[in-house]
Amino acid sequence: MGDLLAWDKTHLWHAFTQMAEYESLIVTRGQGCWLETIDGRRLLDGVSSLWCNVHGHRHPRIDAAIKAQLDEVAHVTLLGMSAPVTIRLARRLAEISPAGLEHVFFSDSGASAVEVALKMAFQYWRQKPNPEPQRTKYLALDNAYHGDTLGSVSVGGVARFHQMFEPLLFDVLRLPQPSVDHLPAGIARGDACDYYLQQFDAALALHGHELAAVVIEPLVQCAAGMIMHPPGYLRGIRQLCTKHGVLLIADEVAVGMGRTGTMFACEQEQVSPDFLCLAKGITGGYLPLAATLTTTEIWNAFLGTYAESKTFFHGHTYGGNPLGAAAAMATLDVFEQEQTLVHLQDKIARLSKHLARLAEHPHVGSVRQCGLIAGVELVRDKATGQPFAWEEKRGFRVCAEAMRHGVWIRPLGSVVVLMPPLAVSPDELDLLCAAVEQGILVATGTSAGS
């Protein structure tokens, strides 16, 4: 164990982690919603191993599907060939996705799925029957997060993550994030949707002719701190994109695969985007796989002879990998067989009750929930909404205390994130929320344990 602990801190460079301060946490086993560490601790996986685990670790159906696929073929490139399981997955995604999304391009991460959509949209405007090559820009929201490739970072808007790379990025038109918890002075919560849609309409009226696409995280901007959009905002964005002739890219990497209570977040407002980006939970959190779904209109613009060079010159070695596709097919099977979305409704209601209690804490500025996605925002002053300084690491202190109570979670600054696997039991939900509550008490100095 000693060698692993040392090598973990000297050879392995962890994502979004200050290695000078990193303390090793090595997981050796997973079962259901639980993780077991190298030193024998059991921790409830309160954030689904970074928002991707769906049906729990070591689900027998998914395990068996991967093992069965290993007996056939482990990898087949999609550059000029295919595998049966990957074909079946493409067909199935087309069947269950919002209407009109008939064509699937596989890659290997959420950032890649968004990058694919950005490039497809750009190329579409040059190759459609009546080309509009002036459409070279994108519109995105403040504090958006769409991944860490240069294209996805360009449409992202989280300065803390992306400011360093600004000289490498392309310009993006940006609008304020439509938060219902942090509204401009004089705007009532009930008027928020109309207020933000009017801004959007004005921006498209002015710039629509030069936009390749609008990029949005439907319903929830997760990495921004679980920012919830006003009801009706997504539907309004779809209508305005149609009105102004602009393509809509829906990034459901985090909010798709049941997280919001429906398979896809877009379903909640009956929206069909021009591109739908999926990853994370698509394989149940087992293997890297991502998908970009689009329409026949987009697809047709890429058809032609070899000499016309309309091909989409983009690809990933492991895109559509058969093992990942097998895990994804099994993940969808489990949704059906275990009626995951039906049983999710009671869990969503149970989480809501816990959040209502947490909202009463004097240092909780707001609680935010959409389905089984939740954020608890810590503030220094509840009356004014004055935040804690980022450097105080209040969110991390909550998480450290929660781990003492057997729960593993990660914060977003001063926002404590709760996003357990959809398979979480009622008792496990209770444990998760109790640990978060104790963490808040300690991290804000409102208990004897602080």
Annotated binding site for substrate: 145, 280, 315, 410
Distances (CA, A) of 286 to 54, 109, 378: 9, 12, 32
- Kindly report the number of other CB atoms within 10 A of residue 30's CB atom: 17
| Token pair listed for 312 | 């989409």
**H helical segments located in 215-295:** 233-244
**DSSP SS3 for 74:** coil
The helix or strand, by DSSP H or E, that contains position 347, with its residue range, turns out to be helix 340-358
Strand partners, 239: none
CA 449 to chain centre: 34
Q: How far apart are CA 97 and CA 350, in angstroms?
A: 28
Q: What is the CA radius of gyration of the chain?
A: 22
Cα–Cα distance measured from residue 442 to residue 394, given in angstroms and rounded to the nearest whole number? 10
Which residues, in sequence order, are CB contacts of 182 under 8 Å at separation 6+? Answer: 227, 385
Residues of the binding site for pyridoxal 5'-phosphate: 110-111, 251, 316-317
- Annotated binding residues, written as ranges, equal 110-111, 145, 251, 280, 315-317, 410
The residue behind tokens 């919603």 is 33
